[in-house]
């Protein structure tokens, strides 16, 4: 059962248009069948993948042997790396990379892959618009394409990608999937084993100037033999102290177990 009418009514009150923040889309699907169980709002519009792309980078890194386990390689912070969060200015390993969403560590992995392998993985994953060209004229796709740049993905596509992850349908090793699941493990609540990743970026207006802040929380949850995949995207009209991705994750984690139980019972 897809709650489309109720979703549209709810979306009209929560989508962007308020002075603060709005949920643009919430979508939940059954990982095995692909059946959409909940779809609220505008879920087919592509935006920057932002740090949700770390799930894909993790799969690439472990499959290619660049990432070894949860704590290797541990890479030292160097001057010139992205450092706008103090917690990034320290030695980082795969676990702390995912937990703290460290941009420069992602960039070390993608640079180790090289342009050809990086591009090939994105295409093999059928990830969003698959555009890893980066900013126009800057030749920075290998380090910037997913950061409010060329690589974009919709909530519907996020869910499709995550289904392939949990169903082990991507052309990567079993170890890559197992380690990525380990790094993204967040909580066990209401019997649901929850995995997920936040993301935050900024839209670009038609005139090229920065637009609203955008946030993601995407992932999957397993209870017994049932796995549901989900994505929520939000948009902020003003800047908050806490990123929209973190706020989206924290809000959704509170409601997720009850939401999933309700959806499962109704299906």
Mean pLDDT of 62-78: 98
The answer to whether residue 122 scores a pLDDT higher than 70 is: yes
**Predicted pLDDT at 21:** 58
pLDDT at residue 16, rounded to an integer: 31
**Domain with 257 in it: what CATH number?**
3.40.710.10
Domain that residue 100 falls in:
4-266
pLDDT value, residue 207: 78
Q: For the whole model, what pTM was predicted?
A: 0.91
Query: Which positions are annotated as active-site residues?
Result: 51
Residue percentage of the chain with pLDDT more than 90: 85
Q: Is the pLDDT of residue 77 over 90?
A: yes
| Phi, psi dihedral angles at 261 (to 5 degrees) | -60, -45
User: Residues 201, 214: contact at Cβ < 8 Å?
Assistant: yes
Number of domains composing the chain = 1
């Amino acid at each position: 059962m897809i709650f489309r009418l109720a979703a549209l009514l709810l979306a009209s009150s929560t989508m962007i248009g308020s002075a603060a923040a709005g949920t643009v889309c919430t979508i939940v699907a059954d990982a095995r069948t692909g059946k959409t169980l909940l779809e609220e709002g505008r879920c087919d519009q592509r935006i920057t993948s932002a740090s949700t792309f770390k799930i894909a980078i993790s799969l690439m890194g472990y499959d290619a042997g660049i990432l070894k386990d949860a704590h290797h390689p541990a890479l030292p912070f160097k001057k010139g790396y992205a450092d706008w969060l103090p917690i990034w200015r320290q030695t980082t390993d795969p676990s702390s990379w995912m937990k703290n969403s460290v941009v420069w560590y992602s960039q070390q992995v993608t640079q180790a892959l090289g342009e050809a392998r990086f591009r090939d993985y994105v295409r093999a994953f059928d990830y969003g618009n698959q555009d890893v060209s980066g900013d126009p004229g800057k030749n920075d796709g290998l380090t910037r394409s997913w950061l409010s740049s060329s690589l974009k993905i919709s909530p519907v596509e996020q869910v499709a990608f995550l289904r392939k992850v949990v169903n082990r349908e991507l052309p990567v090793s079993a170890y890559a999937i197992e380690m990525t699941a380990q790094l993204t493990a967040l909580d066990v609540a209401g019997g649901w084993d929850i995995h997920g990743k936040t993301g935050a970026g900024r839209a670009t207006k038609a005139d090229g100037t920065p637009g609203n802040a955008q946030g993601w929380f995407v992932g999957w949850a397993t209870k017994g033999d049932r796995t549901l995949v989900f994505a929520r995207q939000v948009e902020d009209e003003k800047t908050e102290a806490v990123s929209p991705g973190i706020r989206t994750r924290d809000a959704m984690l509170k409601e997720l177990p009850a939401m999933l139980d309700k959806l499962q019972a109704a299906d």
